[in-house]
Amino acid sequence: MIPGDARQSLPAWAGQADAWFLDGFAPAKNPELWDPALLAEVARRTAPGGTFATYTAAGHVRRALAAAGFAVARLPGYGRKRHMTAGRLS
């Protein structure tokens, strides 16, 4: 866990993650945590071959993650969620 507002704490973090669970609430309710610049920072802080998963299946989030360098897949969701998104750093 990296405490604080991800927009400030992630760029200041010196580590690399092997896996991310991206849970910034629904993109419509919390768009700043799904910003392409922040998702690019997630990719920059991901170890080679690292992965991510998120409950959101929003197209603009999938496109931003792909643009950041992830191979992105829309997958069946869990429970009442029809779809989710997961991927691996290319």
Query: Does the residue 2 lie in any domain?
Result: no
What is the number of structural domains in the chain? 1
d(CA 70, CA 90): 5
What pLDDT is stored for residue 2 in this prediction? 83
- Helix runs in the chain, H state only: 6-12, 36-44, 59-67
Q: Output the CA angle 46-64-25, nearest 5 degrees.
A: 85
Tens of pLDDT, residues 43-89 = 999 999 999 999 999 999 999 999 999 999 999 998 899 999 999 99
Query: Does the residue 31 lie in any domain?
Result: yes
Query: Does the residue 35 lie in any domain?
Result: yes
Domain that holds residue 73: 17-52+63-89
Task: Report whether pLDDT(25) > 90.
Answer: no
Query: Does the residue 67 lie in any domain?
Result: yes
